[in-house]
């Protein structure tokens, strides 16, 4: 069968692939510790579940407006006021089927063939493919662990060309957990402000999962001129443990929101009505569950950093948010393991899976082959067992 060439240019999501591999081994009865998960290990809070049931009983089971229900848009505007200190109206909001869908619609609405998107690397796996699907060009800028995996102003300046259209920011970051402080952003803003043609995508999907009392901040919040050029992508997936419900949103310039809505109108139409009503409860209801989850993740972050600190040769900046660590294992490259030489993140991830029954995501999927991504959306028992296994597998390398 002849398939469209477009398919040759995009890759299946590496994180989904590793999860499928882990699940297949699990089905065969192997006890896998799956550090590959990209979602909180908690159930959707009960009050959100109840809101979905009520919506069904109330007959909220039909098409809604393509861009989402007013009640949820109002919830997003309220959240923008409360958590961001920014004032938006319904016309600035598009509700989509997850944060990924919001990004897809945005790139389709903004990018022409050959337009460049600057992407600090390591990056979330899907950005380059989403840019590619919009016929844009990703300009990845390596941000090594020495600079805390963060983009520096001179790197940004050097990456800008006449074709630059977008800068994609993700803080707290997947895969590194790095968080840009106000002063980090202010330094980058000095570079961005004169380049009025460059728009900013702020993927804030982990914004509630912040540690050490760090305040929430993004580009739109630090300078009025950047606020007009920033598109906020967020959603309920991570902060409200609703990954399966598929609700995300895009906030920004009304004209662009209209364009993105047009794309959504000819693909999915509205996101699921019931999930939208559940998301109203997620945004407007009790937020203590979010704070509680963040405290749990922070304790796990501390434990994971202790364990990584005990492994010789491994380097890892301390994450300040999300639920991932991205340690550098390159000190082990060139060593023999079970009769083969390990030379890449893919080979090391495979070795961990086969020898230790531990699933991790190879760093190459995020643009950094020296590292592996570990999610700590796992119980303390699993974390302990998993790091014991990793330490043993590394000890066996010669
Ligand atoms: C950085 C980042 N952005 C967006 C998403 C997509 O979120 P959603 O599940 O709402 O599509 C993810 C999910 O893993 C993510 O890590």
Pocket flag, ligand 1, residue 307 (CB < 6 Å): no
- pLDDT of 86 > 80? The answer is yes
Pocket flag, ligand 1, residue 172 (CB < 6 Å): no
pLDDT at 94: 98
pLDDT at 42: 95
**pLDDT, tens digit, 9 for 90 and up, residues 266-282:** 999 999 999 999 999 99
Pocket flag, ligand 1, residue 100 (CB < 6 Å): yes
**Which contacts (CB < 8 Å, 24+ apart) does range 309-315 have?**
310/391, 311/390, 311/391, 311/394, 315/145
pLDDT at 210: 98
pLDDT at 11: 79
Distance CA 31, CA 36 (A): 14
Pocket flag, ligand 1, residue 209 (CB < 6 Å): no
Mutate to test the pocket of ligand 1, among 13, 37, 100 (most ligand atoms within 8 A of CB): 100
Distance CA 54, CA 128 (A): 39
Confidence of residue 18 (pLDDT cuts 50, 70, 90): confident
Confidence of residue 10 (pLDDT cuts 50, 70, 90): confident
Point out the ligand 1 atom lying closest to the alpha carbon of residue 235: 10
Pocket flag, ligand 1, residue 319 (CB < 6 Å): no
**pLDDT, tens digit, 9 for 90 and up, residues 301-350:** 999 999 999 999 999 999 999 999 999 999 999 999 999 999 999 999 99
> How many A from CA of 100 to the centre of ligand 1?
6
Name the closest-CA residue to atom 13, ligand 1. 38
- Residue entry with tokens 């992508």: 233
Class of domain 46-284: alpha beta
3-state secondary structure of 182: helix
- pLDDT of 13 > 80? The answer is no
Pocket flag, ligand 1, residue 173 (CB < 6 Å): no
Pocket flag, ligand 1, residue 237 (CB < 6 Å): yes
Pocket flag, ligand 1, residue 373 (CB < 6 Å): no
Confidence of residue 19 (pLDDT cuts 50, 70, 90): confident
pLDDT at 17: 72
Mutate to test the pocket of ligand 1, among 14, 238, 375 (most ligand atoms within 8 A of CB): 238
> How many A from CA of 102 to the centre of ligand 1?
10
Distance CA 315, CA 143 (A): 15
- pLDDT of 15 > 90? The answer is no
Supply 395's token pair.
Answer: 């000890």
- Residue entry with tokens 């995501």: 361
Pocket flag, ligand 1, residue 271 (CB < 6 Å): no
Backbone phi and psi for residue 186, each to the nearest 5 degrees, phi listed first: -60, -40
Pocket flag, ligand 1, residue 204 (CB < 6 Å): no
> How many A from CA of 188 to the centre of ligand 1?
24
pLDDT at 51: 98
> How many A from CA of 202 to the centre of ligand 1?
12
Q: Minimal CA–CA distance to 169: which of 150, 183, 195?
A: 150
Distance CA 116, CA 201 (A): 13
The CATH label, of 1.10.260.40, 3.30.930.10, 3.90.1150.10, 2.60.120.620, for the domain at 5-43+289-395 is 3.90.1150.10
Backbone phi and psi for residue 386, each to the nearest 5 degrees, phi listed first: -60, -45
Domain boundaries, given as residue ranges, for the chain? 5-43+289-395, 46-284
Backbone phi and psi for residue 214, each to the nearest 5 degrees, phi listed first: -65, 135
**Residues 301 and 177: beta-carbon distance below 8 Å:** yes
pLDDT at 32: 95
- Residue entry with tokens 């840019």: 131
> How many A from CA of 229 to the centre of ligand 1?
22
């Amino acid at each position: 069968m002849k398939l469209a060439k477009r398919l040759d240019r995009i890759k299946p999501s590496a994180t989904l692939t590793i999860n499928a591999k882990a699940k297949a081994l699990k089905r065969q009865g192997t006890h896998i510790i799956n550090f590959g998960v990209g979602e909180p290990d908690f159930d959707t809070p009960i009050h959100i579940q109840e809101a979905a049931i009520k919506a069904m009983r109330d007959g909220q089971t039909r098409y809604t407006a393509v861009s989402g229900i007013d009640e949820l848009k109002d919830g997003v505007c309220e959240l923008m006021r409360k958590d961001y200190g920014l004032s938006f109206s319904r016309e600035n909001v598009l509700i989509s089927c997850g944060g990924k869908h919001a990004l897809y619609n945005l790139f389709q609405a903004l990018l022409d063939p050959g337009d460049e998107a600057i992407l600090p690397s390591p990056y979330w796996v899907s950005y380059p493919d989403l840019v590619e699907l919009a016929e844009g060009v990703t300009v990845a800028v390596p941000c090594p662990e020495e600079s805390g995996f963060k983009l520096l102003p001179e790197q940004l300046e050097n990456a800008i060309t006449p074709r630059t259209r977008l800068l994609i920011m993700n803080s707290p970051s997947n895969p590194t957990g790095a968080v840009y402080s106000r002063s980090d952003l202010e330094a980058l803003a000095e570079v961005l402000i004169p380049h009025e043609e460059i728009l900013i995508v702020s993927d804030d999907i982990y914004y509630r999962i912040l540690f050490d009392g760090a305040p929430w901040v993004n580009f739109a919040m630090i300078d009025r001129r950047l606020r007009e050029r920033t598109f906020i992508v967020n959603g309920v997936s991570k902060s409200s443990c609703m990954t399966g419900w598929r609700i995300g949103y895009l906030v920004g310039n009304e004209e662009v929101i209209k364009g993105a809505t047009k794309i959504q109108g000819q693909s999915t139409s509205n996101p699921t009505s019931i999930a939208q009503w559940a998301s109203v409860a997620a945004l407007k209801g009790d937020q203590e569950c979010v704070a509680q989850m963040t405290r749990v993740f922070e304790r796990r972050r501390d434990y994971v950093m202790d364990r990584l600190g005990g492994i010789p040769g491994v380097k890892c900046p301390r994450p300040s948010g999300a639920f991932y660590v991205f340690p550098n294992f390159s000190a082990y490259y060139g060593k023999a393991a079970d009769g083969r030489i390990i030379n890449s993140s893919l080979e090391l991830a495979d070795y961990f899976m086969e020898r230790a029954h531990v699933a991790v995501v190879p760093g190459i999927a995020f643009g950094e082959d020296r590292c592996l991504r570990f999610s700590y959306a796992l119980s303390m028992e699993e974390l302990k067992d998993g790091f014991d296994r990793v330490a043993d597998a590394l000890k066996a390398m010669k």
